[in-house]
Amino acid sequence: MPGLKPTSEAHVAQPGLAVVDVAACDDQTAFAVQALLAGRWPTASADRAIRVPGEPGVRLRCYLDVRQEFGSQL
């Protein structure tokens, strides 16, 4: 994705780790999607969205650990 660093092997080194790239029409929508993901799984969230010149909307990337949902029992 233009404007974002390549995905690191460390971010997908184990089953259950994921990199999610969000494309949306505006910052508010992109951060709303990120908040929904962060409300369900441990998430390393983006602090800003990126606008790529010549491309519509904004982009952001967050990192998830889907091995355990919040509120689930160990």
Cα dihedral 39, 44, 48, 49 in deg (nearest 10): -80
CA neighbor of 65 nearest in space, from 8, 12, 2, 9 = 12
Mean pLDDT by 10 residues, the chain (74 residues): 60 80 95 95 91 92 87 55
In whole angstroms, give the CA distance from residue 57 to residue 74. Answer: 39
Q: Evaluate if pTM is beyond 0.85.
A: no
